[in-house]
Amino acid sequence: MNLRFRLNLIVTVILLIVLLFGAVITVHNARESVRAEVDSTMELALHTLEAELNHFKRTGIVSAADEMSPFNLGRLAGVRHLRIEFYDSQGFLVETNQVEDAHNEADPPAWFVNQMQAGLENMTVKSLPVSVNNQTIGKLVISPEPGNEISEAWEETKTMLKLIALFFVSVNVVVFIAVGLSLKPIDNIIDALTDIEAGHLDRRLPIFKLPEMASISHKFNGMASALQVSTRNNHRLTQQIIRLQEAERKSIAHELHDEIGQHLTAIHVDASVIKSCRDLECAKHSAAAIDDVARQMMDIVRTMLHRLRPGGLDEIGFLAAVQDLVNSWQERHDKISVVTRIDGDFSTLDENEQLTLYRVLQECLTNISRHAHADQVEISLLEDQKNWLLSVSDNGQGFELGRHPQRFGLAGMHERVDSIGGKLEISSQYHQGVTVKVTLIKQGEQA
């Protein structure tokens, strides 16, 4: 069941309830109107007939013809809503004001007549004795006869019910059209989402007239723009990572060829000398040379492995590896003052988080040694109840972030921190140094 049908169904149900209530009120008002009309007519007829009977009593004059029919009720055939009948002293009907009419094809339905009759149930039949010359000659019986009034009430009610039905249909049509027009932008939104799903990130929505839909347009277009920028950045970062990987492989290949290759050649030469030596001293000299070269090769391999992955993280732990990194860097840059503050356990950091903080710190120290021209560096590594915090700042020459957003390894740091759900903040201005802050939020039981 789509939204349009649901909204129309809700409006229809509400209208039906309201219109049913209105129909009940209409029938109730018609019943009260019929009762009031019949009641007033009966009261008037009673007063009139009682006055006539009092006249008979006073005068006592009645002709022989009038003695059997002193009221000539046929003349009261026009009196509506009442049945007036004269019965003689023997109880036989003498005359009535009712005239037999042809059957009316437009008679009200039985349910409506029953509803109208329900309002007349407590109206009693009135009986007036008729006496002439102190002699009772019969009685007048007055009873409600609301047929004509019910027919008129039915015609009015039928007209009202037709208007109600017309109103019901009209409102439903208007609501159906209005809901359709209001929900028409949804088709555009679905088409736009389909295009985004298919990779067409340049798709945008028009600004709709309805404020709510206009807000959706703005949000959708903002989302599409952000997604487009993010996708472009991902493509650029992927290409950059590929270039860095190729550069790293090329560097490793050069080192293997230039360093390891040369040392292996030296070992080969010394080994050949040992094979051709005729005395022990010659062999010892060549063996010492091989030992020397092997140690140099071990240093080269250790340096290469440390560049590929810090061995200290696995061997001595995260905090010790960080301290070793800072100490090693300070030994190579003894003219720079380094203040280090480490406060926290950091035992719940997982491997990716440890490596990310280590690499960011390593990149920051590399940038300081290459570009900052600083003489003071402050490093803080802190842990609180919710976060792990790394801050590296210097008093160097700084740079304008807007002009160098991807320089100095910033893109790589952003990518590393984003990949584990962290937050990287960099603040810098010319001649005011650089501050790099990394915030990692603790997750699950760690928090």
What are the beta bridge partners of residue 428?
434
Average pLDDT estimate for 404-409: 58
Contact, 194 vs 183, CB < 8 A? no
pTM above 0.85, yes or no: no
Residue 116: Cβ within 10 Å count: 26
Per-residue pLDDT, averaged over 341-348, amounts to 88
* CA nearest neighbour of 447 among 390, 384, 389, 391: 384
Average pLDDT over residues 187-193: 87
Q: Where are the domains of the chain?
A: 3-61+70-98+106-174, 216-308, 313-441
DSSP-based three-state secondary structure for 160: helix
Reduced to 3 states, what is the DSSP secondary structure of residue 322? helix
- The answer to whether residue 434 scores a pLDDT higher than 80 is yes
Q: Quickly state the pLDDT bin for 243 (edges 50, 70, 90).
A: confident
Q: How far is CA 48 from the centre of its chain?
A: 75
Question: Residue ranges of the alpha helices (H) in 60-77?
Answer: 64-68
- Report the helix count and the strand count for the chain, using DSSP H and E: 11, 9
Residue 102 pLDDT class (50, 70, 90 cuts): very low
pLDDT at residue 101 in the model = 56
**Average pLDDT of the residues in 265-272:** 85
The span from the CA of 295 to the CA of 300, in Å, is: 9
Amino acid 404: pLDDT: 56
Distance CA 83, CA 145 (A): 6
Q: What are phi and psi of 389, to 5 degrees?
A: -125, 130
Q: Comparing 245 with 106, which gets the higher pLDDT?
A: 245
423: left (phi over 0), alpha (psi -120 to 50) or beta: beta
Domains 3-61+70-98+106-174 and 313-441 share a fold: no
Instruction: Please report, rounded to a whole number, the percentage of residues in the chain having pLDDT higher than 70.
Output: 86
- For 410-420, the pLDDT digits (tens) are 877 888 888 88
**How open is the CA angle 433-436-439, to the nearest 5 degrees?**
160
User: 115: pLDDT confidence band, cut at 50, 70 and 90?
Assistant: confident
Nearest-angstrom CA–CA distance, 322 and 360: 11
Query: Does position 66 have pLDDT exceeding 70, yes or no?
Result: no
In the three-class reduction of DSSP (H, G, I as helix; E, B as strand; rest coil), residue 94 is classed as: strand
Q: How far, in Å, are 396, 397, 407 from residue 371 at the CA level?
A: 8, 8, 11
* DSSP symbol at 109: P
Report, as an integer, the average pLDDT of 311-321.
76
Q: State the pLDDT confidence band at 390, using cuts at 50, 70 and 90.
A: very high
User: Among 3.30.110, 2.30.29, 3.30.450, 1.10.3470, what is the CATH number of 3-61+70-98+106-174?
Assistant: 3.30.450
141 and 125 Cβ atoms separated by less than 8 Å: yes
Stretch (H or E) spanning 393: strand 387-394
Which position has the higher pLDDT, 302 or 328?
Answer: 328
For residues 197 and 258, the model is more confident at 197
SS3 state of residue 365: helix
- Going by C-beta distance under 8 Å and a sequence separation of 6 or more, which residues neighbour residue 235? none
CATH number of 313-441, picked from 3.30.565.10, 2.40.50.180, 3.40.50.300, 3.40.50.2000: 3.30.565.10
Tell me the per-residue pLDDT of 289-313, one tens digit each, with 9 for 90 and over.
888 888 888 888 877 777 676 666 6
pLDDT in tens, 6-56: 877 888 888 888 888 888 888 888 778 877 877 777 787 778 777 777 766
Is pLDDT of 281 > 50?
A: yes
DSSP one-letter code for 257: I
- The overall average pLDDT reported for the chain is 80
Q: What's the pLDDT score for residue 381?
A: 94
Residue 216 pLDDT > 70, yes or no? yes
Q: Are 146 and 55 in contact (CB under 8 A)?
A: no
